Amino acid sequence: MDLELKNKIALVTGGSRGIGAAISLGLGAQGAHVALTCGKRVDAANAVAEKIRGMGARAMVIQANAADFDKTEEVVGAVVEELGGLDILVCNAGVTWDGVVWKMSEKQWDTVINTNLKGYFTYNRACARVFKDQKHGKIVNLSSINGLRGKFAQSNYSASKGGIIAMSKALAKELGKFNVNVNVVAPGMVMTEMAGNIPPEFLNIAINETVLGRVADPEDVANVVAFLCSGLARHVTGEVIKVDGGQYI
């Protein structure tokens, strides 16, 4: 299906691996030009960008800390200048640092909240200014089913992902009159490099929680994100779409 994304310009945070890489490649395959940010994995991000260029679209890589407020404005400005505009923001960059609450340090809390929640705020804020002025735009924020249900030893992560959902609903109300859609995709367990390091017994718990008997591939999430970035979803905003194989239910 043609999602009519050809020549749209997208910014994907945390686009060097896993879900972010799949999203970047999925948008590129639909003809969108993609800017992707990364932390330390510049080589991996450049490899994703090369694949996008091989599809006939333009791509750029920007190394940036998602929690750096001032850098965010620079990133968005650089995308607009180099690629000629901005139509889509997908916020995906995130971290985990698990621990039960009675053992969790202030640094554990602040690191996860600053990256996962403040980092999303900074990019949503900067891109909202562009989208508001041009009277169009698509924002998709990646959350998690654990932002809806909570997760043992993840009070910081669950709080950050729940905050993303609440923030996105507020922004959908603020930006709707400017023809800007704001939605959330909440994956369950996804078979990424990070998931590959999970002990088999915990992975099996996640599989058993689903009704489909499997965990997602990154492309399963990327496909839903691409739809929400397209004109086919023009009347969808303020929604939280779970991509979890029924794990939440």
Would you please indicate which residues are annotated as catalytic (active-site) residues?
157
Output the six-digit token pair for 201: 């017994």
* CA-to-CA separations, 93 to 110, 124, 174, 212, in angstroms, rounded: 15, 13, 23, 27
3-state secondary structure of 66: coil
- Sign of the CA dihedral running 1, 83, 44, 182: negative
Whether the CB-CB separation of 29 and 109 falls below 8 Å is answered with no
Amino acid at 106: E
Helical residues (DSSP H) of 56-189, grouped into ranges: 69-83, 106-113, 119-134, 146-149, 155-175
Spatial separation of the C-alpha atoms in residues 172 and 194, rounded to whole Å: 31
Q: How many CB atoms lie within 10 A of CB 221?
A: 27
